Amino acid sequence: MANIDLHFHSRTSDGALTPTEVIDRAAARAPSLLALTDHDCTGGLAEAAAAAARHGIPFLNGVEISATWGRHTVHIVGLGIDPDEPALAVGLKSIRDGRLERARQMGASLEAAGIAGCFEGAMRWCDNPEMISRTHFARHLVDSGAVKDMRAVFRKYLTPGKPGYVAHEWASLADAVGWIVGAGGMAAIAHPGRYDMGKTLIERLILDFQAAGGQGIEVACGSHSLDDMHKFALHADRHGLYASSGSDFHAPGEGGRDVGHTEDLPPICKPIWRELDARVLRPAG
């Protein structure tokens, strides 16, 4: 296992732990580098960086931006960003502004399907109404006993064509990458193995991403199988992309990987963190 984790979430977006708690949990695995990458917001970074410093762990400021590419929603991780860069801050705010209305529509759709009170229930799991997401609805539905687990919730209610899914227009791919690069960071395609795309479409996504200034792709990821890792290592090598590693941790007991460690990258990969050394926040002393 590698002791680098450049993709995980806190309660600032849709994680279950505070920034301090998630860093404390990661610290138990003695990581050599961490990056908090909350969805479409940077509000937890200062707290997470301070917690990492207390543990003596190098830290990168990060974010995960929701983007619309054609008919697909994709996620772009930004690493080594300046969270105070104005264009990034304004762009992220523009994404968050649409989340609350989408959540109301999701609640109404689920009520029409016979499950009342979902909007109010999801809000109880969310500290910041601007960050309300499908994950908060999923946690409410599991907690209420409507569905047995998170995987079943998404499969039954929260994916395209299901009663609780509401489509949304996120940032454009070019904007998402541009905000990251403009804030001094490097952009990486998050968890590419999760997208419902064949080889040809993935190749097109990578080319458009590179044309916008993107330079990385997640190879080691909590939702990737070993086959996925090797497949995307080959994509990275073929296109000259840097490889990233992240657990995509959200909460204890959810997903396939705990925070603070990932699989080792295949030998053909060029690790993205080597290009970000100057952006790392290192503990004093």
**Residue 150 to residue 166: CA distance in whole angstroms:** 18
pTM of the shown model: 0.90
pLDDT in tens, 138-153: 999 999 999 999 989 9
Q: Mean pLDDT for the chain?
A: 95
Domain locations along the chain: 4-91+170-279, 98-156
Query: Tens of pLDDT along 233-279?
Result: 999 999 999 999 999 999 998 876 899 989 999 999 999 999 999 99
pLDDT for the residue numbered 1: 55
Q: Is 253 exposed, middle or buried (0-12, 13-18, 19+ CB in 10 A)?
A: exposed
Strand boundaries in the chain, DSSP class E: 4-5, 33-36, 59-69, 72-79, 171-172, 186-189, 216-221, 242-246
Is domain 98-156 given the CATH code 1.10.150.650 in the classification? yes
Radius of gyration (C-alpha) of the chain in whole angstroms:
18
CATH number for 4-91+170-279 (one of 1.10.3720.10, 3.20.20.140, 1.20.1050.10, 1.20.120.530): it is 3.20.20.140
* pLDDT of the residue at 261: 85
Burial 46-83 (b: 16+ CB within 10 A, else e): ebbbebbbebebbbbbbbbbbbbbeeeebbbbbbbbeb
What are the pLDDT digits (tens) for 98-136? 888 999 999 999 999 999 999 999 999 998 888 899 999
Where does residue 241 fall: left (phi above 0), alpha (psi -120 to 50 degrees), or beta otherwise? Answer: beta
Q: How confident is the model at residue 47 (pLDDT cuts 50, 70, 90)?
A: very high
